Structure 1
Amino acid sequence: MSSASRHRLDALAAHIGGRWEGDGGIEVDRPCEPADARSAADLPLVFSAQAFGQLTSPAPRAVLTVEGLALPAGRFAGLIRVSRPRYALAKLLPLFLPEARLQPGVHPSAIVDASARIAPDAFVGPFTQIGARAEIGAGCILDGNVTIGEGSRLGPGCRLHAGVRLGPGVILGAGVILHFNVCLGADGFSYATPEPGSVETSTLGDRVQTRNQAIERIPSLGRVVIGDDVEIGANSAVDRGTVGDTVIGRGTKIDDLVMIGHNCRIGEDCLIAGQVGIAGSCQIGNRVVLGGQAGIADHVTIGDDTVVMASSGVGRDLASGLVVGGTPAMPRQQFLEQLLGLARLKRIAEEIRGLGERVRGLERSKDRPDT
């Protein structure tokens, strides 16, 4: 690539796996939405006819577009065509990120235990606290106000944004990204009562059979173990295991505001969207997708490659490769049929009401004496 901020069109195409047309020597310095384009060096992202309609400025000389989309001949001096726009963006946008200007070392205000080990090229920001026997790997970046618990270990190339909290014994693989205020390694939500409580007896009827008394806290002795290349979004939390570990597999991506309970084991390359809640002791397979606000009950197993639609409630085990939705979660087609059925209820009720009136009218006619 030519420079940190300006890139030739032909070099960009090669980098993102697209193909260029026209003048490959055009230099661009900013990908942008079509409506925001304003200069000759802008690169508007035009992936649909509607997006092209939003491009009102004649200034941009080049465009990033999708295969098969017809654009007016001669409108652009050069263009790049890609087959998978979002994947192309994953390759393109990092080239335009501002360069981090961080000098390796530990900020004077950081509190670092004497037994902690920090790689020479790591960056530790202001007011960060690193506990006893913690290990910070090569190239790690810890922003300000980060807490690293006793005995925690960070693999090489981890990035912890401001406000991240790691409890004792948390293990991060290589290249893990934790966004603002992520909390890993808090105690699990584990309590017990001397006698069966209201939850345990709730299956006996519609009314509470017993009361919760003398609730006893069960401490968590396990760890949180995060695989390589995992990314966890802002304000998400993963609880440590009770006696075993809570594990997140390699390559899994987790959105903001996600809660993962104690003893869970999440597989590799999963996608978990915002506000998902996973109760304790769940087993989630590889490449599972959990849509936003999905809720997974405790001790549930979900097989590989299953997709759970947004706002679904999963209360039982799911086999591999399913697409499910609704509460309780059911196969997608069955869920959609139920939604359509609900939409028809008003019309069906009106038809039944009309039929009832006709029947009553016929009965009145039958009872009426002949005239």
Structure 2
Amino acid sequence: MLAIYVNIPTDEALLYRQVCYKLYNISLCNSINEIKTNKTYIYENMEDIIQKYASIYVMYFNFIYSIPSIFIAIICGIWSDKYSHKIPMIFASIGCILSTIVNLFVSIIKYNLSLEILFLSNLFLSLFGSTSTMFSIIYNYISHITTIENRTQRIAIIESCLMFGSTIGLILSGILIDLTNFQYCFLFIIFIHFINIIYIIFYVKEVIHPNENIKLYKNFYEILFFCNDIKDSCRVLFKQREVNQRRYLLLALFGLLCSITPYGYSNNDPPNYQQHVSAAQAGANAIKGVNSKRTYEIGGIADVLYIATGSTVDWAYDDLKIPYSYTIELPPSRTESSVGFVLPPDQAPGVCHETYVGMKAFLVEVKKGVTGASTG
């Protein structure tokens, strides 16, 4: 994150300079930064024009950077699960280095360069996956090497490092530009990425056993062009659901209420209210089978609680046309005023288990209703 966030403001400053060189006299552009106070109208007007012109390029840069990297991140994510986590991490860092080298070249040449050459910088970032790939692989890797007990702690450490690195990077970029020049900034960024690659190679342990890697790498062509895996990853986004049905389920604290069904804004029941109640009752019975002390209330929002507008359950049911829309409010119950929204930690495992059992029974009943409606 340090290198990335040093790079972002530096790239923008380089773009503004190159735009100015394209629109105005070089000496006039250099004098803008020298005049810190009492800027005349002409300089202020120049800066406005430069920013407007640069914003157009930023829009195109973001498009080139974002769209391909989405698909690259998906592909690398699948690849890392089967073959290696380290290689995609290195792959993304190499893309950052190549992108920075292009910017370094532009900063050295300065004049008589087309602005479009900066598209190449963003293209390198995008084709190598950039931060999208790096983040997805990091969290994927963490999920493999941690246990349920320490996973949250490790993710919190990563998030803290990301925030710390981004903050220091943004501060450091301004200091480096003021005290040195673009070349030193970009060389510093390249250096940090090289350190990152060295760390990945020598200190990051591969999850997949080396013997498995050696065996899999024999068929390199099949590994590199795993079309079926790519199709599967894209198919998830557009998969046709069974009988074209969707379910909307909101788990909330607190209340001990099972199946708060549409509608919340009136006492009228939805057309398929009985199906809602039937599925909810199946879930409530399954929970009670696990914990005899747990009794859930069932009914519409307005009946069980009060008339309430703006419910996401109503929105999912009416606007999204999702026929099975529910809210399940988990323990503690509304009568446990001393506990409130905070479930005691020692009760959490039991609530998770019983909720899981209840949701399985609930979904089985919903599936029966969907299947029956399609065949009826």
In the superposition, the TM-score normalised over structure 1's length comes to 0.17
Higher strand share: 1
In the superposition, the TM-score normalised over structure 2's length comes to 0.17
Higher helix share: 2
Higher relative contact order structure (alpha carbons within 8 Å, sequence separation ≥ 6): 2
